[in-house]
């Protein structure tokens, strides 16, 4: 009674960050479906967000047509979420394919496509309304 295992399908999990938005992308073999928070990519509004998310998919068309990508995004605003999802998708496609030419192509398009954005909001300080603004003095 020998147990034979089926070869496991290649699954890649990657993440991307932008401000306070965090995206996790799961890339697995499939038919080219992309879902952001369980919503298909063609239904994502506004159009600017959909185009921002689809940049790595357009650059890696051959790889993207053979995989299904599920992205879970939390936190931040809609544009921060879009850029976090874009980074997660780009990293996932590159790791799934292992193609160095694809990396060069994406880096030529945008050098920051694989880099999570470390910028955060500066904390408010005493003596003012925000991080840098101060209460004005009146000399009368």
CATH topology of domain 12-109: Ribosomal Protein S5; domain 2 (3.30.230)
> Could you say which residues of the chain have pLDDT below 50?
none
Give me the residue spans of the domains in the chain. 12-109
How far is Cα 92 from Cα 65, in angstroms, rounded to an integer?
14
Q: Specify the pLDDT at position 5.
A: 58
Going by C-alpha positions, the residue among 94, 78, 75, 68 that lies closest to residue 14 is 94
**CA of residue 56 relative to chain centroid, distance:** 10
Q: Specify the pLDDT at position 9.
A: 76
**CA of residue 92 relative to chain centroid, distance:** 9
Cis peptide before 46 (omega within 30 of 0): yes
Q: Specify the pLDDT at position 1.
A: 53
């Amino acid at each position: 009674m020998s147990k034979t295992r089926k070869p496991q399908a290649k699954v890649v999990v990657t993440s991307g960050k932008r401000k306070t938005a965090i995206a996790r992308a799961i890339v697995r073999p499939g038919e080219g479906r992309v879902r952001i928070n369980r919503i298909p990519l063609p239904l994502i509004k506004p159009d600017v967000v959909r185009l921002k998310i689809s940049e790595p998919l357009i650059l890696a068309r051959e790889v993207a047509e053979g995989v299904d990508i599920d992205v879970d995004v939390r936190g931040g605003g809609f544009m921060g979420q879009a850029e976090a999802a874009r980074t997660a998708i780009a990293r996932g496609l590159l790791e799934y394919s292992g193609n160095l030419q694809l990396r060069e192509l994406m880096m030529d398009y945008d050098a920051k496509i694989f880099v999570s954005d470390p910028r955060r909001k500066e904390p408010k300080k005493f003596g003012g309304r925000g991080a840098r603004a101060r209460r004005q003095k009146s000399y009368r």
